[in-house]
Amino acid sequence: NLPTYVKILDVGPRDGLQNEKANVATEHKARLVAMLQDAGLREIEVTSFVSPKWVPQMGDNVAVMAAIARQPGVRYSVLVPNLKGLDSALASRPDEILVFTAASEAFTQKNINCSIAESLERFAPVIEGAHAAGVKVRAALSCALGCPYEGDITADQVEAVVRPLRELGVDAIDIADTIGVGTPAKVQAAMERALKHFPTAEVSGHFHDTYGQALTNIYASMELSVNSFHASVAGLGGCPYAKGATGNVATEDVVFMLDGLGIETGIDLDRLVDAGAYISGVLGREPVSRAARALLAR
Ligand code: HMG
Ligand code: MG
């Protein structure tokens, strides 16, 4: 009873590029978004309205949002850590914002400079403001499968943050494996806690592929009927506050697996490979995606 349709949100322009040291020009970011939507992506995480001192690469957020050629039916999301971020984000007309905290105290401190409880307090007016503007709110729960500072994270710790996020009115939740240490049974245990509080359609898996487990973890999540996943074209990425973390699972690899399973995504793999090759060329490296490398070598 796997889902027949899976929704893929490409986080490449945001999660994929946020950790790049060299400045990536705004026009390349906008072109990447254009190529992703041409490949059939209907959900794209475009940029972050975070402090440019913390994440300089996302400092052109307003310019990127102005430069994208919006296509009807495509939803564009952005990260918002606080009210200051919300004000500038809303002026850029996103379809969705993402607030983000973690199942681990230590990571929350490193990433957003506050405790988990403080992050929830901070989100309350952000959620209210976004909803008042008619904008959907997702929340990412980082380190849901393990933390670079605290090690193991339990399903109880996951639920301890999922529950208050739902109570605050968040519409959707991303179970995020920031450092890619999750394995299938553990992923299912975390997903089950999220599914207790959010409708299935509003639960997503956001798996970094550091230990090569992401595709398996997507499959394990689909066994629970979860049908929304995040991926990064070409496998771009890494987290500035999780040393050694690699990018999200490559979108090309996810599409290749789902195509093989006969699960609909609406994505054209060849055009997606072109998008990954384009941005990898801008960065001066090969795509991390195994499927993309194989297809490019044909
Ligand atoms: P802080 O230093 O505690 O904030 O940072 P503050 O309120 O004390 O403000 C300090 C300065 O930042 C002030 O400027 C503010 O105006 C400015 P100054 O007076 O010094 O000139 N500032 C801002 N500027 C622009 N936009 C804003 C903003 N807020 C404050 N929104 C803060 C707290 C949350 C802002 C900071 O820690 C931050 O920006 N963190 C973001 C870190 C980040 O982007 N991490 C990566 C994304 S999360 C991720 O990748 C995980 C995910 O993929 C899931 C997973 O894989 O786990 C989602
Ligand atoms: Mg991430």
Note the pLDDT tens digit of each residue in 15-35: 999 999 999 999 999 999 999
CB 198 within 8 A of CB 172: yes
What gap in Å lies between CA 68 and CA 77, rounded to an integer?
A: 12
Assign 3 a pLDDT band (cuts: 50, 70, 90).
very high
For residue 176 and ligand 1, the question of a CB distance below 6 A is answered with: yes
The number of CA neighbours under 13 Å toward the Cβ of 255 is: 29
* Catalytic status, residue 143: no
What gap in Å lies between CA 260 and CA 241, rounded to an integer?
A: 35
Q: How far is the CA of 298 from the centre of ligand 2 (A)?
A: 31
Q: How far is the CA of 195 from the centre of ligand 1 (A)?
A: 29
Note the pLDDT tens digit of each residue in 246-271: 899 999 999 999 999 999 999 999 99
pLDDT at 239: 64
Ligand with minimal distance to 179 CA: 1
pLDDT at 245: 77
pLDDT at 240: 62
Ligand with minimal distance to 175 CA: 1
Note the pLDDT tens digit of each residue in 114-151: 999 999 999 999 999 999 999 999 999 999 999 999 99
For residue 65 and ligand 1, the question of a CB distance below 6 A is answered with: no
For residue 228 and ligand 1, the question of a CB distance below 6 A is answered with: no
Average pLDDT over residues 57-81: 98
What gap in Å lies between CA 3 and CA 264, rounded to an integer?
A: 9
The number of CA neighbours under 13 Å toward the Cβ of 122 is: 20
pLDDT above 90 for 107:
yes
Average pLDDT over residues 156-176: 98
Strands 172-177 and 203-207, by their bridges, are parallel
